[in-house]
Chain A
Amino acid sequence: MAKMVRTGTKCCRVAGLGATVRGWRRSEMGMSDIVSAIFVLPFIAFLIFALVDTGVNLRYRTLVDNATQSVVRSISQDGGLYWSRTTQTQFITDPVTGVPYGVYDPTFRWDVYGTKILRNLCGAGAQRCTSINEAKMTCTVAGGTSGYGWGIQVAPGKGALVECRSVFPYLPVSPLSKNLVTSVGFNTLLTSPIQTSVRGITTTGLGG
């Protein structure tokens, strides 16, 4: 029992506070446990945060991919709205506004629409973006300008190449992931902007 008072914390609780303090001072066992825990915890924290950040990062890559592909798909099908052989726009009007569907709008740009989607992904407080203005999508349609103006972004015919490029300045969840040391080099992967490009072929155009 005398040994337990010197070396163990369990017996020290029985012996009282004074004995506890003396037990800690005399014994390095209790301290070594704490030091060990302090040494181990950052390692475990890194593994957990790295896994969480990787998952969230890939989730946002998927979201950016999907947004980009959605715009490419929209552009590649948009020509059908204006082609007399694939729609009957002249006979269909919006029941509320009375405006015909498929009317050419020279101010509409699909990449502006895509950029809005990306900026929405940043969140209300730009939680997931380093800078909301850097989230941007640009789209090009091969031959899309001929005769119809640049803004419309609709191909004159089917088979035209559409390409959209997106940049999303992703902001990691964990502060550990932003630092080279605490992320053990993972910061280059997790803090670099998400960039993706998607190509598509128009399935129809203004002229078929």
Chain B
Amino acid sequence: MFFRWRYLERGTSIPLIFILTIPLMLGAFGLGFDSIRIMYLRTFVTSRADIAAQAGASTTYSAGSVATGGYRLLLGAQGDGLTGAHALNVTYLLYWANTQSRRGETLLCTAMVPITVAPNPGMRTVMKNNPDKCNFYRQIVGTPPAGNRLCEKVGVGDIYGIAVGLNEKVPMTFMKILGVQDQWINDVRATSLVRSSNSC
């Protein structure tokens, strides 16, 4: 009887093991594929956030005269003052333009409406409290210089720029078959400071 069992088991062992391990192999393949993909997308999103922050941190040498408060280094377009609303919009729009080609395919969301007001009490807290929400926050960080800065270098206390933070949702491909839900790329941040110094 014992030898008979061995006789029957020998022929079916490899196909049986193969069939039994197919879900395991496909699962491992799917996990590897989706993990690589999410890693790539995280790098992609981080680099796009980085260049968006840099775009927002561009400066304008304001028009006018010293007497009228002109000749100042400002964030954003002329006429924005130190609110930098334009800079914040540029940051968002550039990020959107640079990631648009992957919308719907590999990225599911980002805030559709530009946020022009910096979140309060701060980007870090908002991102931390909403890790599963599609967010795109950008805000002015540091202290923009005030007053007429003609022919003066920006001081240490005047360092300022744009910071962005975002969460993106990534749809699963293979792992969706196994019931794994869409994953989040959470808490991506980038900061770019104004590099210009107002020296003559």
Contacts and interface: CB of A to CB of B under 8 A. Distances in A.
Nearest to A47: B29
A151 interface: no
A159 B58 CA distance: 7
B13 to A, nearest CB: 7
A85 B198 contact: yes
B124 to A, nearest CB: 25
B59 A62 contact: no
Contact of A62 (B6, B29, B43, B58): B43
B133 interface: no
A89 B22 CA distance: 66
B54 interface: yes
B51 A58 contact: no
B61 to A, nearest CB: 5
Contact of A61 (B14, B15, B40): B40
Contacts of B54: 73, 76, 200-201, 203
**Of residues B11, B94, B199, which shows the largest number of chain A Cβ atoms within 10 Å of its Cβ?**
B11
A65 B58 contact: no
Interface in A86-142: 86, 88
Interface in B48-67: 48, 50-51, 54-61
B128 to A, nearest CB: 27
Contacts of A33: 10-11, 13-14
A180 interface: no
B55 A65 contact: no
Main secondary structure of the interface of A (DSSP, over half): helix
A199 B94 contact: yes
Interface size class of B (residues with CB under 8 A): 35 or more
A177 interface: no
Given A58-B37, A65-B44, A158 B59 contact: yes
Given A28-B11, A62-B43, A158-B58, A201 B90 contact: yes
B159 to A, nearest CB: 15
Nearest to B78: A159
**Of residues B13, B28, B51, B97, which shows the largest number of chain A Cβ atoms within 10 Å of its Cβ?**
B51
B33 to A, nearest CB: 6
Nearest to B41: A58
Given A33-B10, A58-B36, A85-B199, A203 B51 contact: no
Contacts of B10: 8, 29, 33
Contacts of B82: none
Nearest to A204: B196
B32 interface: yes
Interface string A178-208: 0000000000000000000111111110001
Contacts of B40: 58, 61-62
B11 A32 contact: yes
Given A28-B11, A85-B198, A201 B47 contact: no
B198 A54 contact: no
B58 A7 contact: no
Interface of B: 3, 6-7, 10-11, 13-15, 18, 25-26, 28-29, 32-33, 36-37, 39-40, 43-44, 47-48, 50-51, 54-61, 77, 90, 94, 97-98, 101, 194-200
10 contacts: A28-B11, A29-B7, A61-B40, A73-B51, A86-B196, A198-B51, A199-B98, A201-B58, A201-B94, A203-B194
Q: Give the 8 A-B CB pairs with smallest separation, nearest first.
A: A201-B55, A36-B14, A203-B58, A58-B40, A158-B58, A208-B61, A29-B11, A29-B10
